[in-house]
Amino acid sequence: MKYLLLAALAGYAVAAIHAVLAFVNKRRAADRTANVSLALGFAAHTCALAVDWARDGHYPLFSFRETLSFLAWTLAIAYFVASLRYRINALGVLTMPLATFLVTASLLVRDGSTTATAANVTGGVASWLFPIHTTLVIFAYASFFVVFAASLMYLWQERELKLKTFGSFFHRLPPLSTVDDIGQTAAGIGFTLLSLGIITGIIWSSERTGRMWHNDPKEIFALITWVLYLTMIHYRAQWRGRRAAWVGVVGFALVLFTFLGTRLMGGYHVFG
């Protein structure tokens, strides 16, 4: 529902502004306002997704518009989890503006009717796997964004330490060890979710078309992304710190291309 999504946008926008103010000025009042606004925006967003699901009669992850909105929702969840686990709010400076942008884009994008697509995709014995597959993949993308954000924080701090400049933002970021742990933990979670998403997608595709692999651009780049994060996790002990941070940046670039770039290349994944 558009009004609920507009309410979510307002909550995310206020949260983004106050998250930046809290980071720059270190004001607790701004931080509290950001958290309350985020919670209200998330509640409205959850209701919007539920209403759309009930109104349209299909899981809200078929069109590009729906996918953008759902990704913003998962980013809010990822931020909640990271904040509760590590008690840091610096992630909000990157996460909240992105969530705001995604919701704005979902309101502006105009898709065609998804009824025919939904009816086609949800047919078959394993149709129940489609929402599981798509949800797992989108949550994996949100986790990889946390890896990306942690990587940027690590590289920024390391640069400050190397140059011995120690600007004002340096003291507002969590310690390097904490940032590294955030990135490694989020990478493990994202890799697990992506693995499960790929497995459920293969099963669903096999039941739907009789083929497990279609040489689709999204499938190919998802597999490349999976291999990259597998390598990162496998060499975790050797790749901690700066190397892991750069892998996190490259990995998220692959995620972006898998999510957006492959849409321009066409193929089997014409939805989402």
Structural domain boundaries in the chain? 1-119, 123-272
Question: How many CB atoms sit inside 10 A of residue 149's CB?
Answer: 26
Average pLDDT over residues 242-260: 87
Q: 62 or 272: which carries more pLDDT confidence?
A: 62
Judge whether residue 235 has pLDDT over 90.
no
The Cα 64–Cα 78 span in angstroms is: 21
| Weakest-pLDDT range from 17-21, 214-218, 221-225, 231-235 | 214-218
H-state helical runs in the chain: 2-25, 28-56, 64-86, 92-108, 115-121, 129-163, 176-209, 217-234, 242-259
The per-residue pLDDT for range 155-165, each reduced to its tens digit, is: 888 877 776 76
Contacts of 272 (CB under 8 A, 6+ apart): 61, 62, 63, 64, 66, 67, 134
If you search the block for the tokens 């040489």, which residue do you land on?
215
Least reliable range by pLDDT among 24-38, 41-55, 236-250: 236-250
DSSP 63: S
